[in-house]
Amino acid sequence: MVDLSVCLSGLELDNPIIPASGTFGFGYEFAEFYDINVLGSIALKGTTREGRYGNPLPRVAECTEGLINSVGLQNPGVDRVISEELPKLKEKFRKKAIANISGFCVSDYSYAASRLDAQEQIGLLEVNISCPNVHAGGMSFGTDAKSAYEVTKAVKAVAKKPVFVKLTPNVTSIADIAKACEDAGADGISLINTVLGMRIDLRTKKPVIANKVGGFSGRAIFPIALRAVYEVYEAVKLPIMGMGGVASADDAIEMMLAGATAVQVGAQNLVDPYACRDIIASLPAAMEKYGISSLKQIIGGAHA
């Protein structure tokens, strides 16, 4: 009998597989396909202080082994998420969920974090610092170590639950940003967010999406994500949620060997709504194939 359980900063999970934020709605939408309680947890749709319509259309472009999106954090705002979305999720999902928080200034993050931290359904906060900081010339919080430190510090000041900071790979050294978050008191790191990319329509000779560039995700970015998880595992002493191109049980095991405690599945949910369920179901056979009795024992196993 193999052991799929893991512990994420005190949050006990039956298995390490978690649908990534932005690819699984608020979770309850997928309950029409299967029992979502088989999931380790669910990273909820990115939530901001105020409701957002998002970026202009078109927002999505298909690519080989992936897609580009520039949705722009469309969401109803934190107060409506708490009053409308969480009750719907509670009817379908009995486990603790992961709240994903985004913002455009430090106070945005603090407000959303304090509101969601107080919710009984939420077991962990995931802070997405890949958003443009509108009070600093459009720079993303996640590309500057000082800004990453400030956001992490502010969220930790209002949150009692574990705080994981979600990092962008679009930096010179993702390990340096992770260390800044650790110094600010982060309980864990999530990585990676999408890689910047674009497509051009050959008929119109113009970029496919209205925002010109967007986040590239899907199976093609798996090696990039794996490298980032490996580097950050060596740089900090924090648990990691690894993500980026994960589409199979083998991918999940590989990500854990690189240093991930839990594994998020993103774009594959858009290709196959049963992806997370099927990865979980195939994990025991994959573990037996590679002589693994407990997933907890292989975390970081690829490091010397």
Spell 73-98 as b/e; 16+ CB within 10 A means b.
bebbebeebbeebbeebeebbebbbb
Please name every residue paired with 215 in a beta bridge, in sequence order, or none if there are none.
69, 196
Catalytic residue among 7, 131, 181, 276: 131
User: What is the C-alpha separation between 275 and 248, in angstroms, rounded?
Assistant: 8
C-alpha separations of 76 from 25, 68, 86, 97, 285 in Å: 12, 23, 12, 18, 41
Judge whether 131 counts as a catalytic residue.
yes
Q: Taking the CA of residue 59 as centre, how many other CA atoms within 13 Å lie in the half-sphere pointing to its CB?
A: 10
Going from the C-alpha of 60 to that of each of 28, 184, 250, 273, the distances in angstroms are: 23, 35, 28, 18
Asked if residues 94 and 120 have their Cβ atoms less than 8 Å apart, the reply is: no
C-alpha 27/C-alpha 34 separation (Å) is 11
d(CA 208, CA 67): 12
- The β-bridge partners of 207 are 200
Q: Check if the beta carbon of residue 261 is closer than 8 Å to that of residue 17.
A: no
Tell me the catalytic residues. 131
